[in-house]
Amino acid sequence: MTEDRYKWIALSNTTLGVLLATLDASITLIAMPDIFRGIHLDPLQPANSFYLLWMILGYLVVSSVLIVSLGRLGDMLGRVRIYNLGFVIYTAASLLLAVDWMTGRAGATFLIVFRIVQGIGGACLLANAAPIITDAFPSHQRGMALGINNIVGVSGMFVGLVLGGLLAPIDWRMVFLISVPIGLLGTVWAYLRLEERSTPRKAPIDWSGNITFALGLVLAMVAVTYGIRPAGGHATGWGSGKVIALLSASVLSLAAFALIEKRVPHPMFRLRLFRIRAFTFGTLSTFLSAVARGGLMFMLIIWLQGIWLPQHGYTFTETPLWAGIYMLPLTLGMLIAGPTSGYLSDRFGARGFATTGMIGAALSFGLLMLLPIDFPYPLFALIIALNGLSMGMFASPNRAAVMNSLPPEDRGAGGGMNQTFQNSAQVVSIGIFFTLMVVGLASTLSDTMSSGLQAHGVPAGVAQHVAALPPVSILFAAFLGYNPIQSLVGAHTLNGLSPADHAALVGHSFFPQLIAEPFRHGLHAAFTFAILACLIAAAASSLRGGRYRHGELALRGAIPRPEEQHAR
């Protein structure tokens, strides 16, 4: 097969694989109410919050933990071999998820387990897609190719929201079943047409490094799930003994990992790659931008589903789908800016595009803070489109610059390291943004809830009991597109109210108006953090140096001098 033909086959197949892997990270967010109704489990009951969180986080956690190891395994055994195996695992897990026959907590456990298996397949795809593209394309075209692949992957997070909203109301199983025929196509296509263009270098597996790294990340991410839940009479659990113990154990495990990686002859995590300035600052920028982007997705879902859409006449069962549709300008902005900036970065370097993109993203967060909670949609659409354009302008050149900086034999490990920071950032963003929102809600929600319920005839004792419930329950309700008033107040109390008060409490307006002001406080805190993350990412991006492509210059085991980086 000719070089020119093969590179487009490699790009198209790996882009399909990355799209599936990232789409499945978000498709369940919108489909969650239908999934839990399908297995007859109430996600708003405090005892079931574990299942809710791990349906969201299980896929992200396992992909974050395994990507570096699977990228390194690709360097050792062949990138195409591990990538192809990922398609098989992903497709088989998707089929098993679609045939879950159990209900209740057993059904939820089944889904969590095979979401984790699906995440293993997704990690194989994500860890090796960029190295396969980098092997297939010449250096002067990698920005364009990696730009298309990366931005389709990032956009998949938002496409998944729309797809989940479309499929789940028909049948929740379709959320998983849709991946099966596409996965089969990708599997057969990959096995028949992809070629191993790397030179596998067999080496002993760094078991001690793999175990300590996986343990450290898993402990940290489990701590996040407990940290955003109430504990000890506090709105969040970050000060609880359990969370402190988990975080301490995580730090110790990761410290042990760092020591091991400095001493073993064949480390999983190639720490020496951080001597390459373009790689180090590109990876730091990747992490910070992903934290901001992950937080944006969660905040917009809550804003649209819990407040804006119900205020504009949509029923709570309709809001998941329409939230995805109303967020499409953001996705379109990414799809426009990503490939374009990737192509231009091949000619002019990544630094200017990536830095400007992060500054533009910070500006868009500031503009979102200026919007009223009940905003005019055209203005909202323009602002999130600006955010999409800015994120796309950053993501493609940054990814290309990171991959171009890596020596060929380390592209799997280095690409996996970069992807690990990106995936971990999404879990970190859940912890940070949910915590900021819970704290913001806790400051004013209780009094607002109590007075609002009593104004519509709910007895003071019942109103105060409901108001004392943890804010995270209200946040989950808004996130899932539920109207929680009926379940929180109870049918017996609601039936004793006047028809007007009953209709008002369970209607479109009461719950959104109730949480609008407390939500605004939390939203501003969350977006302020996002602005800071974007500005630090912009600063890190500007420090990456000019264009540096491994292969034009040999990796010397130190940060390349400015005159060696073809600065522009």
User: For the segment 197-223, what is each residue's pLDDT rounded down to a tens digit?
Assistant: 888 888 788 889 888 988 998 898 788
Range 514-538 average pLDDT: 88
Last residue of a domain, one of 216, 244, 267: 267
Residues 490 and 523 in one domain: no
Among 222, 263, 228, 295, residue whose Cα is nearest residue 472: 228
Eight-class DSSP state of 319: H
Instruction: For residue 248, tell me if it sits in a domain.
Output: yes
State both tokens at 6. Answer: 């093969």
* DSSP annotation string for 392-412: HHHHHHHHHHHHHTS-GGGHH
Helix (H) or strand (E) holding 297: helix 277-302
Q: Would you place residue 561 in the very low, low, confident or very high pLDDT band (cuts 50, 70, 90)? A: very low
Residues 168 and 316 in one domain: yes
Residues 414 and 480 in one domain: no
Residues 310 and 392 in one domain: yes
Mean pLDDT of the chain: 85
Given a contact cutoff of 8 angstroms between Cβ atoms, the answer to whether 236 and 438 are in contact is yes
CATH code of the domain covering residue 530: 1.20.1250.20
Residues 335 and 386 in one domain: yes
Residues 142 and 68 in one domain: yes
Is the pLDDT confidence value at 48 over 60?
Answer: yes
Q: Would you place residue 417 in the very low, low, confident or very high pLDDT band (cuts 50, 70, 90)? A: confident
Q: Which domain holds residue 232?
A: 206-267
- Residue 343: what pLDDT? 81
Last residue of a domain, one of 502, 517, 532: 517
Last residue of a domain, one of 216, 235, 267: 267
Residues 274 and 345 in one domain: yes
566 residue type, one letter: H
Is the pLDDT confidence value at 327 over 70?
Answer: yes
Partnered with residue 231 across adjacent β-strands are 234
Residues 233 and 187 in one domain: no
Residues 288 and 149 in one domain: yes
Helix axes 319-326, 328-348, angle to 10 degrees: 30
- Residue 550: what pLDDT? 58
Residues 214 and 96 in one domain: no
Instruction: For residue 213, tell me if it sits in a domain.
Output: yes
Rounded Cα gap, residues 538 and 548, in angstroms: 18
Please write the tens of the pLDDT for every residue from 120-150.
999 999 889 988 998 898 877 887 888 788 7
- Residue 263: what pLDDT? 87
Instruction: For residue 558, tell me if it sits in a domain.
Output: yes
Instruction: For residue 11, tell me if it sits in a domain.
Output: yes
Instruction: For residue 88, tell me if it sits in a domain.
Output: yes
Question: Which residue matches tokens 């969350």?
Answer: 526
Strand, coil or helix: 373: coil
Among 488, 416, 491, 406, residue whose Cα is nearest residue 453: 488
Instruction: For residue 568, tell me if it sits in a domain.
Output: no
Instruction: For residue 496, tell me if it sits in a domain.
Output: yes
Residues 242 and 366 in one domain: no
What is the number of domains present in the chain? 3
Of residues 50 and 313, more confidently modeled: 313
Percent of the chain beyond pLDDT 70? 95
Residues 388 and 275 in one domain: yes
- Residue 555: what pLDDT? 38
Range 158-174 average pLDDT: 87
Please write the tens of the pLDDT for every residue from 30-42.
788 889 889 998 8
Among 151, 43, 219, residue whose Cα is nearest residue 395: 151
State both tokens at 481. Answer: 């597109």
Rounded Cα gap, residues 82 and 310, in angstroms: 46
Instruction: For residue 567, tell me if it sits in a domain.
Output: no
